[in-house]
Amino acid sequence: MKDLLSGKTLKVKFIPARQGNYEKYKALPPFPSIIRGRFNPFEWAKDPNRRMDYYDASMPIRSDSDSELLLKGHAGVAGRIEGFVRILKSPEEGEKLQSGEILVASTTNISWTPLFPKAAAIVTDISAPLSHAAIVARELGIPAVVGCTNATARLKTGDKVLVHGGQGTVRILK
């Protein structure tokens, strides 16, 4: 920093490469909370069945016959609702959420609360039945499936789904 401020520009040549790396990593989805073993974020991001809560390099990739159309999580709040998905990466994107859409997020905290009344249902990657998403959805009577592990990776905005909060499932309806 001292060299840069004094007019020596030796390190300035590295700035474009570092900015490029920053943009590549910024485009990745949030990493799992727990990572075990060697982790390549770019390979992990390509996997449509990736888990958002846990990554273990030694775990085999499992594939169920029904897994392409069904996401499983924890029953957050009972209720069945059919609707269109809206994936949000942060509550600051809340203006994109239209009334009656199904809010899908990696996880939620108190800053997401003002968006819940607009949502027909809530689906999260990381959460449990006593998480913020489940508690607030329960108070508002909104069906919720929490802890799906990969909902933000498997679903995309505009997908039509059936959320079954009591069973903890989300079915993709094509």
- Give catalytic residues, as residue numbers: 132
Q: Which residues of 129-148 are buried (b: 16+ CB within 10 A; e: fewer)?
A: bebbbbbbbbeeebbbbbbb
Rounded Cα distance, 30 and 50, in Å = 12
Q: Hey, what are 61's tokens?
A: 């990739």
3-state secondary structure of 13: helix
CB distance 147 to 170 below 8 Å: no
Choose among 170, 122, 128: nearest CA to 147: 128
3-state secondary structure of 144: strand
Q: First and final CA of the chain: distance in angstroms? A: 54
Given CA atoms 81, 83, 84, 90 in this order, what sign does their dihedral have?
Answer: negative
